[in-house]
Amino acid sequence: VKPESLSLCPLGTAAAPEQELLCIFGTGDLGRSLGQRLLQTGYRVVYGSRRPHSCGPLPERAQVMSHAAAAQSANLVFICIHRENYDFLETLAPELKGKVLVDVSNNVEKNLYPEANAEYLQRLIPGAHVVKAFNTLSAWALQNGPSDANRQVYLCGNNAEAKQAVSVVATKLGFTVLDRGSVSAAKELEDFPLQLFPEWRLPLRLAVGLTAFFFFYLLIRDIISVYIKEKKDISFRIMVSLANKVFPIVSLIMLSLCYLPGVIAAFLQLYRGTKYKRFPDWLDRWMLCRKQLGLLALGFAFLHVLYTLIIPIRYYVRFRLSVRENRTPEFDTTMAWRTDSYYSVGILGFGLYLLLGITSLPSVSNALSWREFSFIQSKLGHVTLFFCTFHTYLYGWDKFLRASSYKWYTPPGYMLCLVLPSVVLVLKLLLLLPCVDRSLTRIRQGWERTNPD
Ligand code: HEM
């Protein structure tokens, strides 16, 4: 179901006290925090409890009654109790008929039950209108009100009026409401709090995998091979030289992996002649983690820049310079051009890289129009990839012609990492050809190629 944001009354006007009575079942942490916040916002609150006279400390000004009496006194009932204790609610079906029940529950594990808690509640009390909401907020967030990280309240349910009633309360509490559709979305909402950085998992695994691969590849190729062939121990290079190869290599590969799915999607649309067919799941998932891929790639590029900055103060470099001091090598203008160019192109690439990273942050991207955002992320993104790739080509220069570059018949790491960005850039260049670009633009505007049959 496509999430849709409800347009609700502005906060300033919403905060006026209305003294509406709301009911809360459950006097645990969540029930208490919610009650306190509702009271602060101007609602009256009544708790439903098994033992109304001995149910522990509750917010001042809140009333406590038996479940049946409390349910009868309000139209909206927050169910702040664990799912395992829902059965008793069945006995209250007559009192809860026609009421809006807000299911705020969560589970400790995924797939613990065949159906979502909210669906179970709806089955127990078919006469009530169940709305799943507030479950992604902690008791802490409820008590202290919305903060940047905890501003959104997801909700779902079968009855539009019931959802509207809950979203009015959520908005008065200062939250932004995101409607996820019918109660069948409840399972997804209940899984939210159990997920740990879900969209970072794939990019992180990829970063760790690539780092490990290139670390061992370069360790064997550049350090162990020298030890075996020349009996020379240059293991100290692991700390800076090797790290300063692995990090930029991983960064460049991950940056190209950010742009590869977009290019694949464009070719797929051209091949199918329509934009209305779904992309395969793997491509969808890949596209959804581009931001995380890009931010991790930026982190690796940042490390490369820091490592590069310390090169002149390294003992090994200063030692080599002092040994050479007595010789006056001839000035090589080509070499000067080459090194200055690759530094300069690297710096430009890094500058644009930072711009991409900054504009992907929600607070910045929210201030941009869609056109501005896509101009930076797509057009400038490809320019960034071009600069970083060009920087690496310039760094390599003519080394690919020398046999000594291929130790043990293996290519150096930077050559391997150039494959993917080069492919992405060539494919992107093909897409920019006027005839291809025209077809793609038409497809993206809704035109469809009709099948001959
Ligand atoms: C290599 C400088 C930004 C990718 C190098 C080297 C230097 C350097 C000095 C040679 C390192 C060595 O001798 O081992 C810079 C500077 C940058 C910059 C000053 C910006 C301030 C970038 C960026 C990328 C990048 C943004 C993109 C990911 C690479 C790659 C290599 C490299 C792939 C080859 C690594 C190897 O296998 O030796 N850069 N760089 N650089 N740089 Fe950059």
**What tens digit of pLDDT does each residue of 137-189 get?**
887 777 776 765 567 899 999 999 999 999 999 999 888 899 999 999 999 89
Radius of gyration of the chain (CA): 30
Average of per-residue pLDDT across 235-246 = 96
Quick check: CB of 296 below 6 Å from ligand 1?
no
Among 217, 242, 308, 338, residue to substitute to test ligand 1 (most atoms within 8 Å of Cβ): 308
Ligand 1 atom index nearest CA of 309:
19
CATH of domain 4-194: 3.40.50.720
Select from 257, 253, 256, 266 the least CA-distant residue to 430: 266
Ligand 1 atom index nearest CA of 308:
9
pTM for this entry: 0.75
Give dist(CA 397, CA 174) in Å, integer: 58
Q: Is the pLDDT of residue 226 over 90?
A: yes
Structure-token match 């009256």, residue found: 44
Give dist(CA 52, CA 45) in Å, integer: 14
CA of 197 to the centre of ligand 1 (A): 30
Give dist(CA 291, CA 200) in Å, integer: 9
Select from 164, 79, 165 the least CA-distant residue to 125: 79
Q: Is the pLDDT of residue 213 over 90?
A: yes
**Tens-place pLDDT, residues 244-256:** 999 999 999 999 9
Ligand 1 atom index nearest CA of 249:
33
Can you give the length of the chain in residues? 453
Amino acid identity for residue 72 in this structure: Q
Element of type H or E holding 377: none
Quick check: CB of 414 below 6 Å from ligand 1?
yes
Among 253, 254, 304, residue to substitute to test ligand 1 (most atoms within 8 Å of Cβ): 304
Amino acid identity for residue 102 in this structure: V
Quick check: CB of 47 below 6 Å from ligand 1?
no
Name the H helices within 273-332: 281-288, 290-309, 315-324
**Tens-place pLDDT, residues 272-300:** 999 999 899 999 999 989 999 999 999 99
Label residues 167-190 b or e (16+ Cβ within 10 Å = b).
Answer: bbbbbbbbbbbbbbbebebbbebb
Average of per-residue pLDDT across 108-136 = 92
Q: What is the pLDDT of residue 196?
A: 67
pLDDT, averaged across the chain: 90
Quick check: CB of 68 below 6 Å from ligand 1?
no
CA of 358 to the centre of ligand 1 (A): 21
Give dist(CA 257, CA 261) in Å, integer: 7
CA of 293 to the centre of ligand 1 (A): 19
Q: What is the pLDDT of residue 451?
A: 61
Give dist(CA 260, CA 48) in Å, integer: 56
Quick check: CB of 352 below 6 Å from ligand 1?
no
What proportion of the chain, given as a percentage, has pLDDT over 70?
A: 94
